[in-house]
């Protein structure tokens, strides 16, 4: 087993761990959690022998093979699949010895080595490496490309594939999903669930942790506590523990009231029953774990935009791409206040292209891009982080946006994003990726946009900041389009899903929780062939047939969708009338003798509207259930 005994560790003057004792048994699947800077990556360095303890000891079984993801990007002209195969060190050593034995014409040694080669799966190794690469999003044509030809994010995927290629006893993964899209994250989850060794995982993705871990090691106040169960079980346990403290409990109750208020608004505005149920379940779970985040340093809201035109933006028959290459075409999309859209699809399908098109950073090749006059876009992408001035502090950046604002007001605002005290005045150059992401979000929110375009906003953000962002986005009154591999954020913030694939943008008819199963079914239908050309033609035919079936399904479901939309519009009108009457009935002057008749009239009208609301809600629920049933039957 992996054992830590009375372990203490300092990095410079900072104490990370003090008197930590911990045992991790073979087969454990441990998620390592804790705020940024608490020592999660340092613990991995201790296990790898890159750091040494100050006091105590760490015991790693001598015969264990440890795999981890290299931080250096692969370089040189070595083929990508050969780089991945390097992860199986025993395989490579046998190959090296075979070369020596064959050069010496040592027949007996050659026979022994071939037997060993077969026992370690050497003849299937290339196929195994190709499956790992393809699962992580590489195409068949990428196998023999030079590793140096790939961009930084794809090189990190190669490093991950190399680590998975190793037949290890202990696998250490530090934020493995940061450079993956949702499709690849789902594939990695399935792979890790079948991994036979011991797993230690650092991740800020709660759905990913829930899916692959059976223990949580939480770092807090220089100690590590090991909890049985996945991340959800840990949150509930910690919530129960913290709720016993009165000040925290009161804060929790305010958070729960906020969530209930949002759920009530959401019930009347959901456009899909299946997605509504998924999101309501997520909010119910958020209510249970709310106390676990009462000590979060992040608390902010998205202020209302100054103007809210409707529609905000419309795309009519738009195509977009780069140079002479078209990535997406035939896009018809309207965005109005309250729209919350999540984009699904594999990496390279065009999600970021669509976001850039919406942001106005990419011109339409054909079709019409029609923005409202008062459109105010808040666009978050990784290049926004890179544009931060390393010689300016967070306060400097904010003062450039609002030179007339009082410094204390700006510092209070930055405090909600975790920039407290001297950190608000520190230069951003040495900031971590998470700190830069938080600052970029703070600057975006301060501009009070009415359209939010978020392309992987949670990269480098820890769990507490992700929770704060999810809570803040629920109250946003404008439109939002979100690309994220964090399913929790998609689930609680989006009520409409679009799938970007094969150059098109289509409605995804199912809910987010159905997406992994749907992907698995697509993989079964389109299994890679040994001949790339045969595979390409077969895939093209399958995609064409799939698109035909999806178009036919959309056509069959269209009347039911329209019925749901009509019921929803009816509810919106009635709720608005109901709210107006409630405001009128709240007036004290109405309850005087001279206004008695007007009061009776308003009360009768209010009773009629309440009954109409109940009937409309029943109609909406019936229509939504019919739509869900029809969608299920069509699968």
Q: Which of 52-66, 201-215, 295-309, 370-384 has the lowest mean pLDDT?
A: 295-309
Sheet holding 55-59, edge to edge: 14-24, 2-11, 55-59
Q: What is d(CA 443, CA 426) in angstroms, rounded to the nearest whole number?
A: 16
Question: φ and ψ at 309, to 5 degrees?
Answer: -65, 160
Q: Which pLDDT value is given to residue 529?
A: 44
> For residue 429, what pLDDT is reported?
87
Q: How many residues does the chain have?
A: 635
Least confident stretch, 30-39, 312-321, 383-392, 524-533: 524-533
**Helix or strand holding residue 455 (H, E):** strand 451-455
Q: Which residues contact 403 (CB under 8 A, 6 or more apart)?
A: none
Element (DSSP H or E) covering residue 205: none
For residue 314, list its beta bridge partners.
334, 370
Look-up of token digits 């994250």: 185
Structure tokens at 69: 């993801």
The answer to whether 252 and 198 are in contact (CB under 8 A) is: no
84-124 pLDDT, tens digit each? 999 999 899 898 998 998 888 888 888 888 888 888 888 88
pLDDT of residue 536: 46
DSSP state of 405: S
pLDDT at 530: 42
Dihedral of CA 268/271/274/280: which sign?
negative
- Cβ-Cβ contacts under 8 Å for 273 (sequence gap 6 or more): 564, 621, 624, 625, 627, 628
> What pTM does this model have?
0.69
The token pair at 547 is 């698109």
pLDDT of residue 272: 46
Higher pLDDT, 591 or 175: 175
Residue 1's closest CA among 248, 263, 261, 226?
226
* 41-96 pLDDT per residue, tens: 889 999 998 888 889 999 999 889 999 998 777 777 889 999 999 999 989 989 89
The CA distance from 351 to 577, in Å, is 39
Mean pLDDT of the chain: 82
Closest CA to 84 of 99, 96, 100, 67: 67
Pinpoint the alpha helices (H) of 447-595: 463-474, 487-493, 515-525, 532-585
Rg, Å, the chain Cα set: 28
Of the listed ranges 228-232, 291-295, 480-484, 505-509, the one predicted with least confidence: 291-295
DSSP characters over 119-158? HTTGGGHHHHHHHHHHHTT--GGGTTSBGGGS-HHHHHHH
Q: Whole-angstrom Cα distance, residue 566 to residue 185?
A: 37
Contact 48, 172 (CB under 8 A): yes
What 3-state DSSP class applies to 585? helix
Identify the band that residue 355 occupies on the pLDDT scale cut at 50, 70 and 90.
Answer: very high
Q: What is the pLDDT of residue 256?
A: 61
**Contact at 8 Å (CB) between 619 and 571?**
no
Which residues fall within 8 angstroms of residue 170, CB to CB, at 6 or more apart?
Answer: 2, 47, 60, 64, 65, 66, 67, 197, 198, 199, 200
Encoding tokens for residue 427?
A: 């230069």
What are the tens digits of pLDDT across the range 244-268? 655 555 665 666 666 566 556 555 5
DSSP state letters, 305-354: PS---SS-EEEEEEEEEETTEEEEEEEEEEE-TT-EEEEE--TTSSHHHH
More confident residue, 414 or 556: 414
Identify the three-state secondary structure at position 67: strand
For residues 22 and 224, the answer to whether their CB atoms sit within 8 Å is yes
How far apart CA 239 and CA 310 sit, in angstroms, is 41
How far apart are the C-alpha atoms of 596 and 584, rounded to whole Å?
A: 13
Residues 6+ apart with CB under 8 A from 245: none
Do the bridges between strand 340-344 and strand 14-24 make them parallel or antiparallel, or are there none, so unpaired?
Answer: unpaired
3-state SS assignment for residue 17: strand
Write the DSSP symbol of residue 293: G
Name the band, by pLDDT with cuts 50, 70 and 90, for residue 334.
Answer: very high
Query: For residue range 294-303, what is the model confidence (pLDDT) as tens digits?
Result: 556 677 778 8
Let me know how many helices (H) and strands (E) the chain has, helices first.
21, 18
Q: Do 485 and 205 meet the contact criterion of CB atoms below 8 Å apart?
A: yes
- Which of 340, 323, 562, 300 minimizes the C-alpha distance to 446? 300
The pLDDT of residue 133 is: 93
pLDDT in tens, 148-199: 888 778 888 999 999 999 999 999 999 998 888 899 999 999 999 999 999 9
Q: What is the pLDDT of residue 301?
A: 79
Residues 6 or more apart whose CB falls under 8 angstroms from that of 413 comprise 300, 398, 442, 446
Considering only residues 163 and 292, tell me which one the structure prediction assigns the higher pLDDT. 163
What SS3 state is found at 430?
Answer: coil
């Amino acid at each position: 087993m992996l054992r830590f005994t009375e372990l203490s560790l300092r990095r410079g003057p900072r104490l990370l761990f003090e008197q930590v004792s911990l045992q991790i048994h073979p087969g454990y699947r441990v998620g390592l959690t804790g705020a940024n800077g608490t020592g999660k990556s340092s613990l991995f360095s201790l296990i790898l022998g890159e750091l040494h303890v100050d006091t105590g000891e760490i015991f790693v079984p001598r015969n264990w093979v440890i795999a981890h993801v290299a931080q250096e990007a692969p370089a040189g002209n070595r083929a990508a699949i050969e780089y991945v195969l390097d992860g199986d060190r025993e395989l490579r050593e046998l190959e090296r010895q075979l070369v020596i034995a064959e050069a010496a014409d040592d027949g007996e040694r050659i026979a022994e080595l071939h037997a060993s080669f077969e026992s370690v799966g050497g003849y299937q190794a290339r196929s195994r490496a190709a499956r790992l690469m393809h699962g992580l999003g590489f195409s068949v044509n990428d196998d023999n490309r030079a590793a140096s030809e790939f961009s930084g994010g794809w090189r990190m995927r190669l490093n991950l594939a190399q680590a998975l290629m190793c037949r290890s006893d202990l696998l250490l993964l530090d934020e493995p999903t940061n450079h993956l899209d949702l499709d690849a994250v789902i594939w990695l989850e399935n792979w890790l669930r079948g991994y036979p060794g011991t797993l230690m995982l650092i991740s800020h993705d709660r759905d990913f942790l829930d899916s692959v871990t059976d223990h949580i090691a939480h770092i807090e106040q220089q100690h590590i506590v090991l909890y049985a169960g996945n991340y959800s079980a840990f949150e509930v346990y910690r919530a129960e523990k913290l709720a016993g403290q009165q000040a925290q409990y009161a804060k929790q109750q305010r958070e729960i009231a906020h969530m209930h208020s949002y759920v009530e608004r959401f019930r009347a505005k959901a456009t899909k029953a299946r997605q509504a149920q998924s999101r309501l379940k997520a909010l119910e779970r958020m209510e249970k774990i709310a106390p676990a985040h009462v000590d979060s340093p992040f608390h902010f809201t998205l202020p209302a935009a100054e103007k809210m035109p409707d529609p905000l933006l419309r795309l009519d028959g738009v195509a977009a791409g780069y140079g002479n290459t078209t990535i997406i075409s035939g896009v018809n999309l309207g965005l109005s206040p309250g729209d919350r859209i999540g984009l699904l699809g594999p990496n390279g399908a065009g999600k970021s292209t669509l976001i850039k098109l919406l942001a106005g950073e990419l011109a339409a090749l054909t079709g019409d891009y029609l923005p409202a006059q008062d459109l105010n876009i808040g666009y978050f992408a990784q290049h926004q982080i890179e544009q931060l001035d390393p010689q300016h502090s967070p306060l400097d950046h904010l003062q450039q946006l609002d030179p007339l604002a009082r410094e204390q007001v700006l510092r209070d605002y930055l405090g909600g994003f975790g920039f407290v005290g001297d950190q608000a005045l520190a230069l951003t150059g040495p900031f971590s990726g998470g700190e830069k992401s938080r600052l970029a979000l703070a600057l975006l929110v301060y501009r009070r946009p009415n359209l939010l375009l978020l392309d992987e906003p949670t990269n480098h953000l820890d769990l507490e900041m992700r929770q704060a962002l999810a809570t803040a986005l629920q109250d946003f009154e404008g439109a939002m389009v979100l690309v994220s591999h964090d399913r929790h954020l998609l689930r609680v913030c989006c009520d409409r899903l679009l799938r970007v694939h094969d150059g098109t943008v289509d409605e995804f008819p199912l809910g987010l929780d159905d997406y992994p199963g749907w992907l698995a079914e697509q993989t079964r239908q389109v299994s890679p062939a040994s001949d790339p050309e045969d595979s390409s033609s077969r895939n093209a035919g399958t995609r064409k047939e799939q698109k035909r079936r999806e178009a036919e399904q959309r056509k069959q479901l269209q009347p039911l969708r329209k019925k749901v939309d009509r019921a929803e519009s009816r509810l919106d009108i009635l709720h608005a009338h109901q709210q107006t009457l409630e405001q009128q009935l709240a007036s004290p002057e109405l309850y005087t003798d001279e206004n008695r008749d007007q009061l009776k009239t308003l009360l009768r009208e209010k009773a009629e509207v309440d009954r109409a609301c109940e009937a409309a809600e029943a109609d909406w629920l019936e229509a939504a259930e019919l739509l869900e049933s029809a969608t299920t039957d069509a699968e």
